[in-house]
Amino acid sequence: MVYIIIIILIFAFLVWSAADISSGIYVKTFCGIKNCDEKVVSLTFDDGPESGTTEKVLEILKRYDAKATFFCIGKKIEPNSEVFKQIITFGHTLGNHSFRHNDNFSLLLPSRMREEIERCQAEIKKYAGYEPRFFRPPLGVTNPMLAIALRKFRFDVIGWNVRPFDTSAKDADEVSRRVISKIKPGAVVLLHDRMPHTPKALETIL
C-alpha cells in the first residue's frame, strides 16, 4: 500500500510539473519578476494573428502607448499577413507559439516538436525579417520531450503568472476582473488576441 501511495504521489508530481509552466522542472521559464520595485507588467497575447480582433487589440495598445508580446501560431500568419505586419509596425515583440498549436503538441516526439517550432520560425522570418528569441509552448505544457526539442534553439521560454482564463470566461468584465485582482508589479499576463472579448477587457485593464 505504501508503494502504491508513493507511485501515485510521484505521478501527481510529474503531471503537475508538466502542466504548470512556472514549475521549471523540465524547461527553464520566465514567469514574471518577484518583488519587483518598478510598476511594470508584461502583456502577452497567444494564438494570433486573428483578423478582426488582433487589430482592435493593437488599436487599444497604441491608444495607451503600451507594448506587448504576441506569441503567434505559424499557420495563421500568411492568411492574416496584413494584421501580422501591423504587429511589427507598431513595435511589438514577436514570439513563437508553434506552427499549428495542436492540442497534442506535448505528446509529440522531440523531432516533431522541432519541426513545428522551425516552421513557425520560418514563417515569422518570412514576414518580419528575423527569427524571434521568445517561445511559449502550446497550452503552456512542458515535459522532457520539449526539453530535448529545445536544445537546438536558444529561446527564452516565457510563461505567465496572471492567467484570467479568457478563452472560457463568459465576458470581458470577467476577464478584466480576474486580471486586476491578480496583477502586481513584475507580472506576466496571459491573454488571447483571438477572443472577441479581449479588446474590451484589455481597455479596462489598461
For residue 47, give the C-alpha cell: 494564438
For residue 156, give the C-alpha cell: 527564452
Would you give the distance in Å from CA 109 to the centre of its chain?
21
Helix intervals (H) in the chain: 2-19, 54-63, 74-77, 81-89, 110-128, 144-149, 172-182, 198-205
- The answer to whether 119 and 97 have CB atoms below 8 angstroms apart is no
For 104, phi then psi, to 5°, come to -95, 20
- Residue of 92, 97, 101, 192 with catalytic role: 192
Q: Is 46 a catalytic residue?
A: yes
Q: Is 197 a catalytic residue?
A: no
- Residue of 46, 47, 166, 193 with catalytic role: 46
- The answer to whether 29 and 157 have CB atoms below 8 angstroms apart is yes
Give me the active site residues, please.
Answer: 46, 192
